Amino acid sequence: MDAVQDMDKALSKARNANTWFEHLDEQWGAVDECTKKIKEIGKKELNIKNT
């Protein structure tokens, strides 16, 4: 699944952050983006039109 692979790559990049805040912010961004992608995939596969 591409969404999860993209998240894993982004989480790996977060390890190189200069501060703890940057690390957490980058991790949150990766998880948030993955969640959005997975929701869209689910909507398409389940034929859900409005959510």
**Domain residue limits, the chain:** 2-46
Per-residue confidence (pLDDT) for residue 51, from 0 to 100: 61
pLDDT at 23: 94
What are the pLDDT digits (tens) for 8-47?
Answer: 999 998 999 999 999 999 999 999 999 999 999 999 999 9
The pTM of this model reads: 0.78
SS3 at position 50: coil
Judged against a pLDDT cut of 90, whether residue 49 lies above it is answered with no
**End-to-end distance of the chain based on CA atoms, in angstroms?**
23
- Render 1-51 in DSSP notation, one character per residue: -HHHHHHHHHHHHHTT-SSHHHHHHHHHHHHHHHHHHHHHHHHHHHT----
| pLDDT score, position 50 | 73
